[in-house]
Structure 1
Amino acid sequence: MAGQTEQVLNAILMDIEAGRLTPGAGLDEADLVSRHGVSRTPVREAFIQLEAIGLIKRLPRKGAVLFKPTLEEFLAILEVHARLEGQAAGLAARRMTQDQARALAQIVCACETHAAEKGDGDPAGYYQLNLQFHGAVAQGAGNAFLLEMIKTNARKLMAYYRARYRFPGSIAQSAKEHREIAELIFAHDREAAEAAMVRHVQFDQVTVMDLLAALG
Structure 2
Amino acid sequence: MAGQTDTVLNAILTGIDRGELNPGDPIDENALIERYAVSRTPLREALLRLEAMGLILRQPRKGAVLFRPTLEEFLAILEVHARLEGQAAGLAARRMSAQAADRLMQIVEACEAHAREQGDGDPDGYYALNLEFHKQVGEASGNPFLLDMIKMNARKLLAYYRARYAYPGMIAQSAQEHRQIAELILAHQADEAEALMVRHVQFDRVTVMDLLAALA
- Structure 2 length-normalised TM: 0.99
Cα distance in 2, alignment partners of residues 22 and 153 from structure 1: 15
Cα distance in 2, alignment partners of residues 203 and 14 from structure 1: 25
Cα distance in 2, alignment partners of residues 48 and 186 from structure 1: 41
For 1:29, the equivalent position in structure 2 comes to 29
User: In the TM superposition, what is the alpha-carbon distance from 1:98 to its structure 2 partner?
Assistant: 0.7
| Paired AA for residue 74 in structure 1 | F
| Higher alpha-carbon deviation: 70-79 or 28-37 | 28-37
| Paired AA for residue 164 in structure 1 | R
**Residue 156 of structure 2 aligns to a residue in which SS?**
helix
Which string of whole-angstrom CA distances, capped at 9 and with x for unpartnered residues, describes residues 136-169 of structure 1? 0000000010000000011100000000000000
For 1:141, the equivalent position in structure 2 comes to 141
For 1:112, the equivalent position in structure 2 comes to 112
Residue 118 of structure 2 corresponds to residue 124 of structure 1: no
**Residue 156 of structure 1 aligns to a residue in which SS?**
coil
Which string of whole-angstrom CA distances, capped at 9 and with x for unpartnered residues, describes residues 99-152 of structure 1? 110000000000001001110011010000000000000000000100000000
| Paired AA for residue 16 in structure 1 | I
| Paired AA for residue 40 in structure 1 | R
Instruction: State the superposition RMSD in angstroms.
Output: 0.5
Cα distance in 2, alignment partners of residues 194 and 45 from structure 1: 37
| Paired AA for residue 79 in structure 1 | E
Residue 96 of structure 2 corresponds to residue 96 of structure 1: yes
| Identity percentage of aligned residues | 71
For 1:45, the equivalent position in structure 2 comes to 45
Residue 68 of structure 2 corresponds to residue 57 of structure 1: no
Cα distance in 2, alignment partners of residues 154 and 180 from structure 1: 22
**Residue 65 of structure 1 aligns to a residue in which SS?**
strand
Cα distance in 1, alignment partners of residues 112 and 28 from structure 2: 40
For 1:168, the equivalent position in structure 2 comes to 168
Which string of whole-angstrom CA distances, capped at 9 and with x for unpartnered residues, describes residues 64-93 of structure 1? 000000000000000000000000000000
User: In the TM superposition, what is the alpha-carbon distance from 1:60 to its structure 2 partner?
Assistant: 1.0
Cα distance in 2, alignment partners of residues 104 and 206 from structure 1: 31
For 1:66, the equivalent position in structure 2 comes to 66
Cα distance in 2, alignment partners of residues 38 and 136 from structure 1: 34
Cα distance in 1, alignment partners of residues 94 and 36 from structure 2: 43
**Residue 166 of structure 2 aligns to a residue in which SS?**
coil
| Paired AA for residue 130 in structure 1 | N
Cα distance in 2, alignment partners of residues 109 and 28 from structure 1: 40
Which string of whole-angstrom CA distances, capped at 9 and with x for unpartnered residues, describes residues 151-206 of structure 1? 00111000000000000000000000000000000000010000000000000001
- Structure 1 length-normalised TM: 0.99
| Paired AA for residue 117 in structure 1 | E
Cα distance in 1, alignment partners of residues 148 and 173 from structure 2: 27
For 1:150, the equivalent position in structure 2 comes to 150
For 1:186, the equivalent position in structure 2 comes to 186
Runs of 4 or more off by more than 3 Å in structure 1? none
User: In the TM superposition, what is the alpha-carbon distance from 1:28 to its structure 2 partner?
Assistant: 1.0
| Paired AA for residue 168 in structure 2 | P
